[in-house]
């Protein structure tokens, strides 16, 4: 089967999301579609999957023009999609999820025939080496396995062309290896694959051909056997990008943050942080590596005053701040870049200035008594917009209208513009464009060089390796390894992260 997008254009009010895009994929090959967040990858795939209709251009399958009115048409034509955010019913079994919408039925009254479905599912699972228990309940399964269910769903519907939308964003390094094997297996079996990603390493690893999308346009194709990361990054961003963070060796000073025997429970009262101790010194960047969900979130919440730890102590510059509130910490020069910028870092319905003063609105010079000085707040916001290169027409625009990278820069501006002694940055560059990543990384290093103690928590190994002077690996709530930054390798950290070498 051969799938072509010809001259596809999609406009939204004020935006051209896709601009005359041509794309071809055939059975038995993997097309890597590379582009930054906001480049138009998702829109393009939604057109292909029948969720949007193109304003111009056509979709051609085996030289016949097709018209998809909805995902149903796309599925019927043999196009399948493995979504970035899984579309599974948590309380259903694997089998029930797979058949949802295409339930095989039994005569005479059309009762659901799950036995039949289960046999077919087992067949698919064997054929592609997807190793899965059809009777398991989805909510009990790890993320990597849930993704396999999505793949089985697509195969169950006889897809010939399969789109993977950022499939690795939620996976551990080991699971990423497995998904590469699965994708290659599907290719061997004659499926055509579109692999969407913004990660350069992945696309070089897995793709047979690479197409790069920038601002809605295909700006070039590349051959993964000859292309380098630098070339791809330049195509993707539109200018040369410095992929390596320039930094001098750290000059660690006094201990700024000291965590002693910290135990934190999560909302379900499970022990999420299990007896953790470490120190961060002035002028050094400590990175905490680990697969998401191993206690990093709870650790950061406890350090930033958002949760009260069960036991243990947090000491900041010699003072016990175990029970300090977020505001106490703020006043003690702690900067916090939260894990999820849209959930807790910003108020998307508030404008840029309101977000800039989110944690300092209550004091001079932003307010006097209870009277806010919005003129001053906007003036201050305008300065930061300039200084931190936040791309927004003005400080009156809602934060929700900014791109992800600019939202993150807004948070960085808010937190770094003050005098900072300790920076706690959680997933500081998740899901943002390469240009903004480069910028935020250099800012963090700058803060370190000015004497701040920096704690970075990230599930992106590359980020930890690029930034950290010292790396701690967290697994199941414990610090299982400490490695000096310059000696660490991805494969070694990957093993620690999986808990195997601990």
**Is residue 393 a contact residue for another protein (CB under 8 A)?**
yes
d(CA 80, CA 320): 55
**Is residue 266 a contact residue for another protein (CB under 8 A)?**
no
- Which helix (H) or strand (E) covers residue 492, if one does? helix 490-497
C-beta of 66 vs 397, nearer to another protein:
397
**Is residue 371 a contact residue for another protein (CB under 8 A)?**
yes
What is the distance of C-alpha 20 from the center of its chain? 28
Of the residues 146, 168, 392, 407, which one makes contact with another protein according to CB under 8 A: 392
**Is residue 379 a contact residue for another protein (CB under 8 A)?**
no
Min dist. Cβ of residue 38 to another protein (A): 6
**Is residue 376 a contact residue for another protein (CB under 8 A)?**
no
Residue 41 main-chain phi, psi, to 5 deg? -60, -50
The β-bridge relationship of strands 161-165 and 192-197 is parallel
Burial 309-338 (b: 16+ CB within 10 A, else e): beebebbbbeeebbebeeeebbeebbbbbb
Of the residues 310, 372, 417, 498, which one makes contact with another protein according to CB under 8 A: 372
**Is residue 104 a contact residue for another protein (CB under 8 A)?**
no
- Residue ranges with strand state E in 89-146: 105-106, 111-112
Of the residues 27, 271, 398, 442, which one makes contact with another protein according to CB under 8 A: 398
Of the residues 228, 325, 387, 489, which one makes contact with another protein according to CB under 8 A: 325
**Is residue 326 a contact residue for another protein (CB under 8 A)?**
yes
Neighbours of 282 (CB within 10 A): 21
d(CA 118, CA 112): 12
Q: Is 37 left (phi over 0), alpha (psi -120 to 50) or beta?
A: beta
Is there a contact between 194 and 162 (Cβ–Cβ < 8 Å)? yes
The count of chain residues that interact with another protein, using the rule CB under 8 A, is: 46
d(CA 379, CA 383): 6
**Is residue 437 a contact residue for another protein (CB under 8 A)?**
no
Q: Which stretch binds another protein (CB under 8 A): 48-56, 90-98, 308-316, 347-355?
A: 347-355
Contacts of 495 (CB under 8 A, 6+ apart): 501
Q: Which stretch binds another protein (CB under 8 A): 85-93, 146-154, 351-359, 441-449?
A: 351-359
Residues numbered 31 to 90 that lie near another protein (CB under 8 A) are 38-39
Helical axes 143-156 vs 173-188, angle rounded to 10°: 20
* DSSP label at residue 248: P
DSSP, collapsed to helix, strand or coil, labels residue 118 as helix
**Is residue 243 a contact residue for another protein (CB under 8 A)?**
no
Of the residues 358, 417, 501, 502, which one makes contact with another protein according to CB under 8 A: 358
Residue 416 exposed, middle or buried by CB count within 10 Å (0-12, 13-18, 19+): buried
DSSP, collapsed to helix, strand or coil, labels residue 320 as strand
Contacts of 362 (CB under 8 A, 6+ apart): none
**Is residue 362 a contact residue for another protein (CB under 8 A)?**
yes
Q: Which stretch binds another protein (CB under 8 A): 84-92, 191-199, 201-209, 392-400?
A: 392-400
DSSP, collapsed to helix, strand or coil, labels residue 357 as coil
C-beta of 153 vs 336, nearer to another protein:
336
Min dist. Cβ of residue 369 to another protein (A): 8
Min dist. Cβ of residue 488 to another protein (A): 31
**Is residue 295 a contact residue for another protein (CB under 8 A)?**
no
d(CA 175, CA 179): 6
**Is residue 346 a contact residue for another protein (CB under 8 A)?**
yes
The β-bridge relationship of strands 311-316 and 255-265 is antiparallel
Sign for the CA dihedral angle at 286, 292, 295, 297 comes to positive
What is the distance of C-alpha 40 from the center of its chain? 17
Q: Which stretch binds another protein (CB under 8 A): 176-184, 361-369, 418-426, 457-465?
A: 361-369
**Is residue 397 a contact residue for another protein (CB under 8 A)?**
yes
**Is residue 14 a contact residue for another protein (CB under 8 A)?**
yes
Min dist. Cβ of residue 396 to another protein (A): 5
Of the residues 136, 348, 495, 502, which one makes contact with another protein according to CB under 8 A: 348
**Is residue 217 a contact residue for another protein (CB under 8 A)?**
no
Binding site for another protein (CB under 8 A): 13-16, 38-39, 215-216, 304, 306, 325-327, 330, 336, 338, 343-351, 354, 358-359, 361-362, 367, 370-372, 374, 391-394, 396-398, 401-403, 406
């Amino acid at each position: 089967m051969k799938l072509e997008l010809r001259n596809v254009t999609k406009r939204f009010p004020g935006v051209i999301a896709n601009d005359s895009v041509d794309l071809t994929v055939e059975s038995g090959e993997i097309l890597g579609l590379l582009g930054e967040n906001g480049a138009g990858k998702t829109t393009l795939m939604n057109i292909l999957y029948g969720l949007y209709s193109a304003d111009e251009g056509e979709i051609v399958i085996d030289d016949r023009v097709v018209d998809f009115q909805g995902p149903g048409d796309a599925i019927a034509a043999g196009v399948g999609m493995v979504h970035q955010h899984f579309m599974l019913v948590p309380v259903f079994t694997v089998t029930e999820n797979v058949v949802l919408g295409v339930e095989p039925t039994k005569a005479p009254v059309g009762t659901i025939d799950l036995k039949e479905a289960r046999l077919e599912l087992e067949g698919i699972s064997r054929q592609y080496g997807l190793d899965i228990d059809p009777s398991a309940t989805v909510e009990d399964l790890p993320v990597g396995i849930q993704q396999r269910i999505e793949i089985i769903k697509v195969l169950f519907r006889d897809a010939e062309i399969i789109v993977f939308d950022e499939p690795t964003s939620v996976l551990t390094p080991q699971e990423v290896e497995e998904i590469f094997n699965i994708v290659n297996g599907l290719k061997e079996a004659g499926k055509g694959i579109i692999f969407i990603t913004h990660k350069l390493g992945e696309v070089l690893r897995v793709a047979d051909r690479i197409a790069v999308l920038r601002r809605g346009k295909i700006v070039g194709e590349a051959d993964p056997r000859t292309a380098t990361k630098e070339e791809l990054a330049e195509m993707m961003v539109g200018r040369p990008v410095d992929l390596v963070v320039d930094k001098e060796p750290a000059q660690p000073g006094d201990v700024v943050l000291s965590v002693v025997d910290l135990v934190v429970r999560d909302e379900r009262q499970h022990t999420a942080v299990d007896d953790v101790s470490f120190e961060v010194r002035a002028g050094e960047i400590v990175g905490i590596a680990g697969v998401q969900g191993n206690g990093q979130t709870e650790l950061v919440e406890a350090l930033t005053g958002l949760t009260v730890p069960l036991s243990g102590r947090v000491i900041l510059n010699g003072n016990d701040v175990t029970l300090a509130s977020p505001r106490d910490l703020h006043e003690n020069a702690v900067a916090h870049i939260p894990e999820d910028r849209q959930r807790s870092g910003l108020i998307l319905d508030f404008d840029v200035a309101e977000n800039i003063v989110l944690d300092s609105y209550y004091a001079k010079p932003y307010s006097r008594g209870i009277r806010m000085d919005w003129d001053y707040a906007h003036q201050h916001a305008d300065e930061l917009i300039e200084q931190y290169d936040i791309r927004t027409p003005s400080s009156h625009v809602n934060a929700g209208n900014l791109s992800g990278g600019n939202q993150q820069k807004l948070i960085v501006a808010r937190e770094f513009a003050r005098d900072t002694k300790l920076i706690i940055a959680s997933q500081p560059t998740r899901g943002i464009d390469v240009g903004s990543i480069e910028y935020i990384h250099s800012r963090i290093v700058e803060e370190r060089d000015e004497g701040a103690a920096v704690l970075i928590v990230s599930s992106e190994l590359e980020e930890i390796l690029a930034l950290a002077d010292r790396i701690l690996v967290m697994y199941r709530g414990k610090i299982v390894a400490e490695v000096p930054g310059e000696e660490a390798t991805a494969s070694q950290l990957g093993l620690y992260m999986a808990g195997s070498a601990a």
